[in-house]
Structure 1
């Protein structure tokens, strides 16, 4: 394994670094990244940015907004948050196996006397409170797994920058976003800095994976900067163009996620469709959307199209075909 040191706090550069490392055919090693963002909202690949953030407050406080490659929900990050990224060659053992990737993080937390464990599909919790959310993305034969670690994040910012899905929270019997998350620092018997915590993770993987520590080369940095400028700093990537829609269906599937379908239907034909949500598939929605455009807006047609697509890759393991069909056509 190679641990690439990345001291950048620029979220656009950092997300571009992930894409560069997973998509570069000349890089085949297992990779570890540990990185931080200045005040930033990171949007899930399939989310509608405008609906997820408090736009006025975000503009006023100059909070960065960037879309990541993976699915899942929007998260707020500041320098009290530590991100970790693993990139491996994909195989049957690690594909969609969240526990495999979170294991070293959990073991470091447990070594500090914390009752850390996996919860649900993609969270790490301590005493039933979330300290980490995780998501995955695949590219050819490579898999990227990344997660957040709430070390000492300003929790007062969460309700100010994000629009919580109250329907989803209420379905879990939780009154607010803050009620279900916690920072690590106040739970520690012996305080650590976030840099010291980061070093513990590196040392863990040096011991278990013989991890080598390298710096990004000037050539790599130059190519990553180019990608950041062409993609991650653009409005189109982070917000996206919104065609005219005349139908909107939002469906909450408990313990699975939310699917929000926007449709433009003319004379019974799907003229345009966009599927948003916090589902955790490792692929985007583009293929499904393209297959649905110019097709009849009826149950048999949509059923046949949905059944021809790898639903798990797009929406995650918990969704079934009937969930997707019922989300699209009401």
Structure 2
């Protein structure tokens, strides 16, 4: 009888495991434009302080951009109409007044991949408190699933070139629309045309003992970028003037800790301009501590697109740079 009970337990466990996997596999694919989200919230709450708080957190201006652009484009819907295909949206924020006071994140509730941030409270004050506490974590989870969705889209048609592997021993999943524009010793420039401009990727390396002084970190990063710009990225010809890409001197870049491809380092966001010429745009730089190769590996994306929104172009570059691997491109 003891063996029979054990066998029954194993069969039951296997049955529920299969059922769970089966249900997960049956989830529809999530939908939604990149960097968009649905806020499921009562119309009255949306028009008041709760709606203001949602917009403050989730539509906050992205740092390091030449003009204000929101983290997410938000579509608000009343809970009564949260049915059908709208539930398959990739990033959902569900905010409601309830008998419970809680805030959490759910994964793949209606579709996959999907993140649902849930904020509840018995009063408006509790809802606002939960929003303020949980919003940063929800934003990070939304951004992660958005990056993954963008990277999945790249895989439809990848650039098969080996220039990065040959020069640096690394690979990035880069859409085939990007082409190598310049390749010199310890420097690769890859770009593509976008609406009214270009999206660009730079890869180079610095000595392993670079950027070891925290007190001069910002100044050292600016000096590095400016020297690379002067050497490799000239501006338009202007009589009697030297032009090249540099870090916009009027704005200090934003710096955050990061880890990509198993390497720790910093993320730098800011504005570039052309010395002695009216041209500028946003940049995103990762400086990674590659101890094994005694170097600081630098991955940079920058966008030139005058008088247009650039959020999604910079985001695409971020998603590409975050595919960093050593060796060949992983399929």
TM range (shorter): under 0.3
Structure with the largest fraction of strand: 2
TM-score normalised by L of structure 1:
0.21
TM-score normalised by L of structure 2:
0.21
Q: Which has the higher contact order (CA 8 A, sep 6+)?
A: 1
Structure of greater Rg: 2
